[in-house]
Amino acid sequence: MTEPKLPICVAALYKFAPFADHAALREPLSKVCLAGGVKGTLLLAHEGINGTIAGSDEGIGQVLDHIRTLPGCADLDVKFSGAPSMPFHRMKVRLKKEIVTMGQPDIDPLASVGRYVPPEDWNALISDPETIVIDTRNDYEVEVGSFSGAIDPKTQTFRDFPAWFRSERERLMGQGKSPKIAMFCTGGIRCEKSTAFVKAEGVDEVYHLQGGILKYLETIPAEQSLWEGECFVFDQRVTVGHGLVPGNYGQCHACRRPVSEADSKSPLFEVGVSCPACHDERTDKQRITYRERQKQEALAAQRGEAHIGARYGAAQTDER
């Protein structure tokens, strides 16, 4: 039996493209989004566009049509999924130095990138004992799910990846013939830069999962999958599973990390204030501020309004 279609269309997208004046693209793009009732976050930089948006099929289609008219964006990469309700509170089009922040200005995915591996061929690649599989996402994302046997760099931000690779390179590569390196991330964009970086470091056989985890979960049946757990996404769904159905995690409104059912029962968890992962990172003064913010958001929700301080409006799309 086919599951009913969820009412909200969610589109995760990115494209590396040489925008001569990315700031000039902001206002027209914002207008198209607002006119179509679309919400989410889109990032614009000289190197291209990245983001996640949600709305009606028609509204999303209008925005994508507009983006595909931008220089170099005719073949825009988009991953679609659904949500039972709008996963964003507002629409933001932001100007950035990078559409995914790695902090390596000399890396250009348009000039050099790893070999794309479609989801249908991914299992064979990562099952090869000669392949080193690296999860390029951040530590809190890896905690809720990853491919079996993948290396977790335990990075807190994508900026940490170059230093991690350089420090671990000798151990990873070993002696003699260089192994194959296969990388993956949520939607594919981080791997565009991580594979370009690793190639610049002199590694030849570098691969990455085309379309990222989202495309794999959409394409590969659960019974054939090597994915374990759920996939963290940067909106109110928090996680998704096979078939891109919404997952089982909540989210800490203080640090935006995923919260499991066990986490929610911890004495360190307080809605809108703290979770076991961030409790010791915050001061009592900060928690007082968070409690007041949570109170105001609860009152706004009772009135059917989105509080101006709502956290989900600014999704961390630059880390996808």
Token pair, residue 200, equals 């610049």
The rounded distance, in Å, linking the Cα atoms of 133 and 311 is 33
CB 263 within 8 A of CB 276: yes
Q: Any alpha helices (H) in the chain, and if so which ranges?
A: 26-35, 57-67, 119-127, 139-142, 161-173, 189-200, 212-219, 261-264, 284-302
Active site residue 231: no
Whether residue 135 contacts residue 154, with contact meaning beta carbons closer than 8 Å, is answered with: no
Q: At residue 170, what is the residue type? A: E
The residue annotated as part of the active site, out of 9, 33, 73, 185, is: 185
CA–centroid distance for 210 within its chain:
14
**Contact predicate 116/212, CB 8 Å:** no
In sequence order, the β-bridge partners of residue 251 are 258
- List Cα–Cα distances, 258 to 99, 219, 248, in angstroms: 23, 24, 10
Catalytic positions:
185
